Amino acid sequence: MADVTITVDGVTITVPAGTNVVDAARMAQIAIPVFCYHPRMKPVGMCRMCLVQIGTPKLDPATRQPLLDEAGKPVIAMMPKLQTACTTPVSEGMVINTQSPEVKFAQRGVLEFLLTSHPLDCPVCDKGGECPLQNLTMEWGPASSRFDYTDKVHFEKPVPLGDLILLDRERCILCSRCVRFQDELADDPVLGFDHRGRNWMIISRSDPPFDSKFSGNTTDICPVGALTSSDFRFRARVWELTPIPAVCTLCPVGCNMTLDMRHERLMRVMPRENAAVNDIWLCDKGRYGHRFFEHESRLTAPLIRRGEKLVEASWDEALSLVAEKLEAVQRAHGGAAIAGLASPRLSNEDLYLFQKLFREQLQSNNLDHLPGAPGEAPHDDLGALLSVGKDANLMELGAGDVVLVLGADPEEEAPLYVLRLRSAVQRGAQLIVANLRPTKLERSATLAARYLPGGELAFLHGLLRELLAAGGRVTVKSSGFDDLKRVLNDMSAERITERAGVAAETIAAAARALGEARRLVIIYGAEARSAGPAVVEALGALLALSGKAGHAQSGLIALLPGGNSRGALDMGVRPDARPGYAPLARPGLAARDLWPALRDGRVRAVWIAGLDPAANFPAARAALAEAEFVVVQDLFLTPTAHLAHVVLPAASVAEREGTYTNAERRVQRTRQARGPVGHSRPDWQIFAQVGRALSARAGAQAPRDTTADDAWDYLTAAEVAAEIAERVPGYAGVTYTALAATGKPGTWGRQANEAIYYDGTNYENTEGIGIKLPAPVESGAVSINLAPRPAPAPGDERPILLLSQPLAYGGDPLLRGSKLEQHVPAPYVALNSADAERRNIHSGDLVRLDSAAGSLTLPARVVADVPPGVALVPADLPGVELAAVQTGPRTRVHLVKLVV
Amino acid sequence: MLGELFKGLGTTLRYIFKPPVTVQYPEVKRPVRERFRGRHELKRFADGKERCIGCSLCAAACPADAILVVPAENDPANPVSHGERYAAVYEINMLRCIFCGYCEDACPTNAIVLEHQYELSFYDRRASIYTKEMLLVPPDKGHGDPPPILLELQRRPSPPAQIDL
């Protein structure tokens, strides 16, 4: 956009056209006070705090040229009244005066007026100490008020807007930042105004009240203490907190946050600015869901089974028992008789040492990072091989760029992507949302397609066909292009639209957008992955055929369960590949095959770190109960830990350092906020200690390799990270020092210490924005196989397709102790009203789902947003053994209404 | 020489007949000045409610970092203090305290006052930490009326925060 030159308080600067006067003045290092204006939202000019004098060059009516005075300078016509700087865009030659007596008079007057009924209860207000109203009053406000103190209007307080956010009406200055955040950014228009005059107030319009996954952000951007969170209310004063930089591990976005600690206790969680990841926001799960590490049920000491009971033991006893048993099993039955499962929540250091322990010390490839329930989709490789490239940043997507979201519900799987994708749309990017059922993101889409259940592959083939017809070519190393062309050419357009259930025009429009995109990002989630690897491969082919594969800012983003699934795959915690996706000639047992192998004695010992397969998975429970030796390493005494022979207490994410790889393959570092609970130890330390014990035992029997001992001598997590940087392909240079870089100064759109006036109380990022890994396809190191898989044979003919739906507030054990626990729904199965009516099922009726594997009874919930022929069950809810009925990620079932 | 000796003895002799200046502490205690800064007391209002609202401003003002305040929310049915907030924990480490009185200056409700008790000695460091129970005056020793801002009396009821759709 063209630049314009303006003069602010005598300083002449050039700013992009369209900038408003507040932002333009900030670029000249001049602060104009604001309350209602927020740089991420449209200005409304409600608070009148930003009044300034504005003048524009006088034009000669005849020539339309600026009039010049005797000195040859343009004549400036000052506007007769003060203007709100936030709603006034700059124009060429504009003169802005922020220091004149009129402006100062207006600023003092506005603040005096805003404070007429402000209760001045700063000593008890949670915002006190980081409050823009306090700061602006100190700097721009009057020293005293002409209003009578006893005339202040008082209201009952607090008013709960929801169970997480409380409103203090006396403090509210009605700037509407919270309302606009919910309307414009979060697309949860649940807040509004009610009444008028002195009774004007913020209300929640939704049921349940304040039904939004981003509600906590309104407390950050509230310029006064009107919105406070019930999570932090009256726990501490803000200046007493020690913010520790951390990364959220509750979903694959990897938002930057701070753990605000006081005396080793977590007081609150706040967003930490990172333009490439979470901007200045944080979802409620990240903000309020981190109370688990202070829960009283944390394990504090190692436990060893003695008879029926688990008895506390010392670390020495527990570790030597683990080493002794594992070595005995290895000697008697070989490494293949040992298996390991590690949670995708663990850090890269943990996961790397875990696979190193198994591959190098125990000679076992029986590794996995999911419990192996039938509902799990196969491991996702393309999300890494074709990932968005180095320096990719969704915040830079704008006009000309296209984002395709297929088979994903970002609001539940990775909530912050909703904000980021919506902001990309606001900058002009195209958002294509294709799902089998309506999602919230669909409302923000520029093009929405809803395919039939099972029609996603046909929809993708339709897109591929259109791209091919438009002359799509593959620019990266690939194989199977001819196969793909042949299969696509064999299909008829009618058949595709019929099977996909999407109009031919929609497919053509979407394909045209994909083909013409400057940059293309494809996001896919649980629903797409449940349809089988063919869908993910078709998405890869789509990227390749659009010619964007290998481009730095284009690629695939897979929304995987757990906060560090991508890290687990990168680190090779999987049976079939080494770190860096190097396939193994002889893969080990996947988690799915582990349970039968454990029962028939092929596997004798199993080590489970951070996973809880016994909770909802009967086959795993039965196998573990009969296993010869089970080690469980966890934060809590889970149902799986109850079946263990040795339970090792692990330190939580707040009690150790580590790096995590997010869905886009950005590696970020989290720091230690507090000492470990009890005797718990970081996971990587436990693996290293067992590794050292095992190598010492091996060395005692056959003294051959003196370096073997050193292989397990890690003092800090940074040493493990250095080894990862050395050994894992793609992670070169990812050291703790490099991760601490914060990028170019000034790229965050804020001036030092001024954010509090404008953006809210989020923290500035001074501890590192992480490193985006390059995509393997960028360097041409990998070849993409485009050949389509043969269509799967239609198997089961049962009428209903059962899908599990990951929920943000699902049965995540890490939500324990938080205010979100009450948001976890009771188990249900969601049905389409047509399906329900045919079977005379009403909401609340008990319904039995019968599949080839078994049956499950759940209360029904008849809803409109599930397509006919689909039953949706929330995944991982406590007490719902979905594994008992699932035959795969997608299961065909009969519905039977139970009459009690 | 001899004259000087008698002069000195004369001074001694003169003081024999004056009352002694020595105070028989601890049997006898000298009164302190009105503005003496001794051990703190946490005051109450006349209605017996605690004056402290747990705002931590005393701790923020303290140059010796001697004060710990952990606030909590009042139970509306059974409030400890007026308003929404009170101090669940209030501790002063008398070994750290330098009796400067900044906490008294910072207190918005005149809850903490340095009083006249100065006998502060301990056998161990732990005993030097005075808890809220030790610092609080008895419930019947309150004074003054709470300021209107802390009172709920004149507050208008709010309409429900949610309207029916």
What is the domain-level CATH number for residue A331?
3.40.50.740
Measured CA to CA, the distance from residue A84 to residue B13 in angstroms comes to 89
Residue A785 CB-density burial (10 A; 0-12 exposed, 13-18 middle, 19+ buried): middle
Q: What is the mean pLDDT of residues A772-788?
A: 85
CA distance B104 to B67: 12
CB within 8 Å of chain A, chain B residues 27-66: 53-57, 59-60
In this predicted structure, the answer to whether residue A708 has a pLDDT above a threshold of 70 is no
Does one domain contain both A427 and A549? Answer: yes
Whether A569 is in a domain gets the answer yes
User: What pLDDT sits at residue A757?
Assistant: 60
What CA–CA distance (Å, rounded) separates A836 from A842? 7
Name chain A contacts of B108, Cβ cutoff 8 Å: 123
Q: Which of A726, A641, A725, A648 is nearest to A689 (CA)?
A: A648
Percent of chain B past pLDDT 90, that is, above it, reads 78
Spatial neighbors of B124 by CB under 8 A, at least 6 apart, are none
Alpha-carbon torsion angle A20, A25, A31, A32, nearest 10: -40
> Helix crossing, A456-469 with A533-545: angle to 10°?
20
B157 near A CB under 8 A: yes
Count of the separate structural domains present in chain A: 4
List the one residue out of A720, A899, A872, A710 whose CA is nearest residue A806: A872
Closest-CA distance of chain A to residue B138, Å:
24
Give a yes or no: residue A637 inside a domain.
yes
Cβ atoms of residues A412 and A808 within 8 Å: yes
DSSP string, A630-654: EEEEESB--HHHHT-SEEEEBP-GG
* CB-CB under 8 Å, B161 with A204: yes
Q: Answer yes or no: do A578 and A543 share one domain.
A: no
**Helices then strands (H, E): number in chain B?**
4, 5
Q: Using a CB–CB cutoff of 8 Å, tell me whether B75 touches chain A.
A: no
Q: What is the pLDDT of residue B2?
A: 87
Are residues A550 and A411 both part of a single domain? yes
The reply to whether A819 touches chain B by the CB within 8 Å rule is no
What's the confidence (pLDDT) of residue A151? 77
Contact between A687 and A699 under an 8 Å Cβ cutoff? The reply is no
**A-interface mutation test, from B112, B149, B165, most A Cβ less than 10 A away:** B149
* A227 interaction partners in chain B (CB closer than 8 Å): none
Phi, psi of B163 (to 5 degrees): -110, 155
- Give the whole-angstrom CA distance, residue A886 versus residue A617: 11
Residues A364 and A454 in one domain: no
Maximal CA-CA distance, chain A: 102
Q: Report yes or no: A154 at the B interface, CB cutoff 8 Å.
A: yes
Structural domain of residue B75, as residue ranges?
23-145
Q: Is the pLDDT of residue B36 over 90?
A: yes
pLDDT score, position A754: 56
In a domain, B43, yes or no: yes
Q: What is the DSSP letter of A251?
A: S
- Would you give the distance in Å from CA B118 to the centre of its chain? 11
Q: Last residue of a domain, which of A88, A113, A138?
A: A113
Residue A704 scores a pLDDT above 80: no
Candidates A234, A237, A238, A267: best to mutate against B (most CBs of B within 10 A) is: A234
Q: How far apart, in whole angstroms, are the C-alpha atoms of residue A522 and residue A280?
A: 23
Instruction: Give A595's pLDDT tier (boundaries 50, 70, 90).
Output: very high
CATH of the domain at A824: 2.40.40.20
Is the domain of A551 the same as that of A589? no
| pLDDT for res A846 | 94
Report H helices in A214-363.
216-221, 284-288, 315-333, 348-356
Q: Which of A94, A113, A132 is the last residue of a domain?
A: A113
pLDDT of residue A748: 42
How far is CA B17 from each of CA B3, B22, B50, rounded to the nearest angstrom?
A: 22, 14, 53
For residue A291, give the nearest of A728, A635, A715, A648 by alpha carbon: A635
Using the Cβ of A615 and the Cβ atoms of chain B, whether some distance falls under 8 Å is answered with: no
Roughly what angle, to the nearest 10 degrees, separates helices A493-500 and A504-516?
Answer: 100
Could you tell me if A367 and A457 lie in one domain? no
Instruction: Find chain B residues with C-beta within 8 A of A238's C-beta.
Output: none
d(CA A298, CA A637): 7
From first CA to last CA, the distance across chain B in angstroms is 110
Q: Is the pLDDT score of B159 beyond 90?
A: no
Residue A89, strand partner residues:
A20
Does position A506 have pLDDT exceeding 70, yes or no? yes
Task: Nearest by CB to A124, from B85, B163, B165: name it.
Answer: B85
Q: Express as a percent the part of chain A with pLDDT over 70.
A: 96
What's the domain count of chain B? Answer: 1
Name the minimum distance, in Å, from the CA of A798 to any CA of chain B.
40
Cβ-proximal residues to A135 (8 Å cutoff; 6+ apart), any chain: A756, A757
Neighbours of A492 (CB within 10 A): 10
Task: For A611-624, give one letter per residue: b (16+ CB within 10 A) or e.
Answer: bbbbbbbebbbebb
Residue A881: pLDDT over 60: yes
pLDDT of A749 strictly over 90: no
Report the distance separating Cα A757 and Cα B15, nearest Å. Answer: 72
Q: Residue A747 has what pLDDT?
A: 41
Give residue A746's pLDDT. 43
Q: What is the pLDDT of residues A134-163, one digit of tens each?
A: 989 998 999 888 888 777 888 888 899 999
CA A705 – CA A755 distance, rounded (Å) = 57
Q: How confident is the model at residue A47 (pLDDT cuts 50, 70, 90)?
A: very high
A9 CB-near residues (< 8 Å, 6+ apart):
A28, A30, A96, A97, A98, A99
Q: Which of A657, A648, A718, A658 is nearest to A678 (CA)?
A: A648
A772 CB-contact burial (10 Å; exposed 0-12 / middle 13-18 / buried 19+): buried
Average pLDDT over residues B51-67: 95
Instruction: Judge if A690 and A601 occupy the same domain.
Output: yes
Contact A119 B152 (CB under 8 A): no
Q: Give the model's pLDDT for residue A198.
A: 81
Range of the domain at A865: 800-898
Quote the minimal CA–CA distance from A754 to chain B in Å. 23
* Residue A175, in any domain of the structure: no
Question: Which residue, chain included where needed, has tokens 């994903």?
Answer: A408
DSSP label of A66: B
Would you state the torsion angle of the CA atoms of residues A412, A414, A419, A422, taken in this order, to the nearest 10 degrees?
Answer: -80
Rounded to two decimals, the pTM is 0.92
Note whether A542 and A579 are same-domain residues.
no
Q: Which residues of A touch B59 (CB under 8 A)?
A: 240
CATH of the domain at B72: 3.30.70.3270
* Nearest residue in A to B72, CA atom: A234
pLDDT at A751 over 60: no
CB A801 within 8 A of CB A871: yes
Residues with Cβ within 8 Å of A726's Cβ and at least 6 positions away in sequence, in order, are: A732
The last residue of a domain, from among A529, A558, A587? A558
Cβ <8 Å between B161 and A155: no
Q: Which of B50, B74, B84 to probe by mutation at the A interface, max A CB count within 10 Å?
A: B84
Enumerate helices (H) and strands (E) in chain A, giving the number of each. Answer: 27, 39
Task: Please indicate, yes or no, whether residues A417 and A317 belong to a single structural domain of this protein.
Answer: no
A360 Cβ neighbours under 8 A, 6+ residues apart: A711
Single-letter residue type at A204? S
- Give the residue carrying structure tokens 């329930």: A373
Give the pLDDT band (50/70/90) at residue A56.
Answer: very high
Strand order across the beta sheet in which A402-406 lies: A447-450, A430-435, A402-406, A520-524, A555-558
Distance from CA of A189 to the nearest CA of B (A): 13
**Residue A93 belongs to some domain of the structure:** yes
What is the torsional sign of CA A121, A123, A124, A127? positive
Answer yes or no: is B17 within a domain: no
Name the percent of chain B lying above pLDDT 70.
92
Q: Is A898 left (phi over 0), alpha (psi -120 to 50) or beta?
A: beta
- pLDDT at residue A518, rounded to an integer: 92
Residue whose token pair is 């003054």: B144
| B16 in A contact zone (CB under 8 Å) | no
Nearest to A628 by CA among A827, A332, A430: A332
Count the helix, strand and coil residues of chain B and give each as a percent rounded to the nearest 5.
Answer: 25, 20, 60
Residue by residue, DSSP assigns A166-185 as EE-TTT-----HHHHIIIII
A701: Cβ contacts below 8 Å, ≥ 6 apart: none
Asked if residues A30 and A36 have their Cβ atoms less than 8 Å apart, the reply is: no
Q: How many residue pairs from chains A and B have C-beta atoms closer than 8 A? A: 80
Length of chain B: 165
Q: Using omega within 30 degrees of 0 as the cis cutoff, is the peptide bond preceding A676 cis?
A: no
**What's the whole-number average pLDDT of chain A?**
90
Given the DSSP bridges, would you call strands A646-649 and A242-247 parallel, antiparallel or unpaired? unpaired
Residue of B nearest to A166 (CA): B161
Give one DSSP letter per residue of A456-487, joined into a string.
HHHHHHHHHHHHHHTT----SSEE-HHHHHHH
Residues A262, A241: Cα–Cα separation, whole Å: 5
A479 forms beta bridges with: A785
Per-residue model confidence (pLDDT) at position A750? 46
How far is Cα of residue A568 from the mean position of the Cα atoms in its chain?
17
Closest CA to B70 of A101, A267, A92, A801: A267
Q: What confidence tens digit (pLDDT) does each residue in A93-142 have?
A: 999 999 999 999 999 999 999 998 888 889 999 999 889 999 899 989 99
- Does A717 share its domain with A617? yes
Helix (H, G, I), strand (E, B) or coil at A430: strand
Bridge partner residues of B44 (DSSP): B50
Question: Do residue B56 and residue A236 have CB atoms under 8 angstroms apart?
Answer: yes
pLDDT of residue A899: 85
Same domain, A419 and A365: no
Closest CB to A209 among B54, B154, B161: B161
Residue spans of beta strands (DSSP E) within A662-799: 666-670, 771-772, 784-785
